[in-house]
Homo-oligomer: A and B are copies of this chain.
Amino acid sequence: MVNVGILGATGMVGQRFIELLAQHPKFEITALTASQRSAGKKYEDATTWYLDSNMPESVKDIKVVDTDPSQVDDVDIVFSALPTENAAIVEPKFAEKHIVASNASAMRMEDDVPLVIPEVNPEYLDLIELQQKNRGWDGFIVTNPNCSTIALTITLKPIYDQFDIKRVYVSTMQAVSGAGYNGVPSMAIVDNLVPFIGGEEEKMETETQHLLGSLEDGVVTPASFGVSASCHRVSVVDGHTEAVFIETEDKCDMDEIHAAMDQFRGMPQKLDLYSAPEKPIVIRPEDNRPQPRMDRNQDGGMAVTVGRLREDAAFENSFRYVLVGHNTIRGAAGASILNAELINEIM
């Protein structure tokens, strides 16, 4: 078993890490960190549990420590569910000795930090060597993208590979859990929606290009197609829905698109990683799917469900679809864990 720690273990994404790791066959939770206010308490006493599942028995008695490398021994991998500002300061300290698999955005766009979705660009892990050399670290940081970006990019990958992409327009309907437990007041969401999520559109646009770019001589060149995002918060607990409009460079017909998505498999599937969904993309044929409450938990929340895959006759080489991905599983904790499983397998 690999000993793992969770940084920022009491928040919503921290809790998802715990839920997903509690039964993990290769990773064992041995350290949980939080802010100083919680340090010294048992996890059970330090935490208001927000998930629908009960808190796993195995973590209840773990003593929470301050988020500081000196407090965390005997741990190989730390998962980071820290807020961005904290992550920027703390993750580099942990990376001196530890593998840091981070869900935070702080280090994502650093030149020598791999931003990775295992099905999409596992080769970016090659940056690790450069990172360690540059920074003189024994450990390293690997990051996963923003929740909305992950689901989108997984569906773009097989299309990009086969038909090249010219334009992407995406309009999201995002779950409230993405903002953290206290992030969206109920006054803002009952009989309402909020057409703005700070920084989200920029992340979707730049991270998507970055993930579908190419790595050569230690430098990532982003993909050159345009991405335009409009992000909205709706009255859904978990599961981001995205309406996607695509124009490809190459001619494509709907059968080919369907096949490309349906047959898409990545490294996690080839290596049969524990958290890997059987298929990264599950296509539903029904008119009225995907729906977040019905589809977010597909393959334990690790598959992205696509539906309404249809031609866009208004424009050449164009088509549309709707996707649902679980924002705190595939889009956050599960993404970091899959990154760690891949690293654990191949390095």
Contacts and interface: CB of A to CB of B under 8 A. Distances in A.
Contacts of A315: 167, 226, 228
Q: How many protomers of this protein does the assembly include?
A: 4
A287 interface: yes
Nearest to A292: B192
A132 interface: no
Contacts of A93: none
Given A167-B315, A235-B235, A320-B228, A291 B245 contact: no
Given A186-B184, A228-B318, A297-B52, A245 B193 contact: no
Given A169-B169, A314-B205, A315-B228, A195 B289 contact: yes
A293 B192 contact: yes
Contacts of A320: 228, 230
A194 B50 CA distance: 13
Interface in A170-229: 171, 173, 176-177, 181-196, 198, 205, 226-228
Interface residues of A, number: 59
A230 B205 contact: no
Interface string A146-186: 00000000000000000000010101010011000111111
A12 B188 CA distance: 13
B195 A241 contact: yes
A312 B228 contact: yes
Interface string A311-323: 0101100101010
